[in-house]
Amino acid sequence: MTGVPASAAGGPAKAGAAQMGASGASGASGVDSSGKGARGGKIAAAAVDQASLWNIANILTMIRLLLVPGFVALMLADGGHDPAWRSFAWAAFSIAMITDLFDGHLARTYNLVTDFGKIADPIADKAIMGAALICLSALGDLPWWVTAVILGRELGITLLRFIVIRYGVIPASRGGKLKTLAQGIAVGMYILALTGWLATARFWVMAVAVVLTVATGLDYVRQAIVLRRQGIAEREAALEETEA
């Protein structure tokens, strides 16, 4: 029957079913006529984002930050040269360095990267290493120029990363990771009250750490210059294409 309208052919039942289907689709998408569903979805998403801050990677980073004042107190306890207190300080420093190895790996492996972690993780790294170096130099166990070279390099490269970030990210190199390992071992050996051949060995380990610190720092500067030039060249090429 070709002359019958669709509404008449379907009758009230089909019209009601169509209306219910539209209503159900609206409910499934989480949006109603007043927009309350959309607001509720945003609130729920915000709650999920806020909860994701408390993941294992960020907790390890916060533990490392909390260890810094405890480490300083242990290093300076009883004049700063008591072997027992220095052993406790070494334990705190070792825990901090171990958590540094795990938190970044966990964040990348299990997709736990957050804005807090991106900011807090490098701060925690610099804080524990800086505290150890400054305490050792203040106690006369490590020359101040060594502390100045290592901290100057770390802070300078961190600043350099922020300067060139609009052109791209400077990736961590194998040399940089080896530098971090050498620094951790060397500083850990200086924290302990070592004598004899171990005291001599730690001097050479620190020498290797300083050489790696300077060498990798210069390499990062080279990468930053290349990255900046490439970024400027790409922008100029894009402008020329736009004008053409």
**Rounded distance between C-alpha atoms, residue 140 and residue 191, angstroms:** 12
Share of the chain above pLDDT 90, in %: 44
pLDDT per residue as tens digits for the range 221-232: 999 999 889 888
Lowest mean pLDDT among 10-24, 74-88, 103-117, 201-215: 10-24
Give the pLDDT mean for 140-158.
94
SS3 track for 28-66: HCCCCCCCHHHHHHHHHHHHHHHHHCCCHHHHHHHHHHH
Over the chain, what is the mean pLDDT?
79
Give residue 49's pLDDT: 45
pTM of the model: 0.72
d(CA 234, CA 214): 30
pLDDT tops 50 at residue 198: yes
Higher pLDDT, 175 or 189: 189
How confident is residue 118, by pLDDT bands cut at 50, 70 and 90? confident
Structure tokens at 193: 């009250």
- Is the per-residue pLDDT at 32 higher than 80? no
What does the block give as tokens for 65? 């930050």
Q: How far apart are CA 178 and CA 41, in angstroms?
A: 46
More reliable by pLDDT, 179 or 27? 179
- Asked whether the predicted pLDDT for residue 138 surpasses 50, the reply is yes
pLDDT on residue 233: 87
Q: How many CB atoms lie within 10 A of CB 208?
A: 15
Q: What is the pLDDT of residue 37?
A: 45
Closest alpha carbon to 131 in 68, 188, 63:
68
At 24 the pLDDT is 42
Higher pLDDT, 147 or 23: 147
User: Given a cut of 90, is residue 184 above it in pLDDT?
Assistant: yes
Give the least confident one: 20-34, 55-69, 125-139, 192-206: 20-34
User: What per-residue confidence (pLDDT) applies to 185?
Assistant: 95
Say if residues 161 and 106 touch (Cβ distance below 8 Å).
no
The Cα angle at residue 38 between residues 36 and 44, in degrees rounded to 5: 100
Q: Is the Cβ–Cβ distance between 165 and 182 less than 8 Å? A: no
Smallest CA-to-CA distance from 157 within 134, 132, 179 is with 179
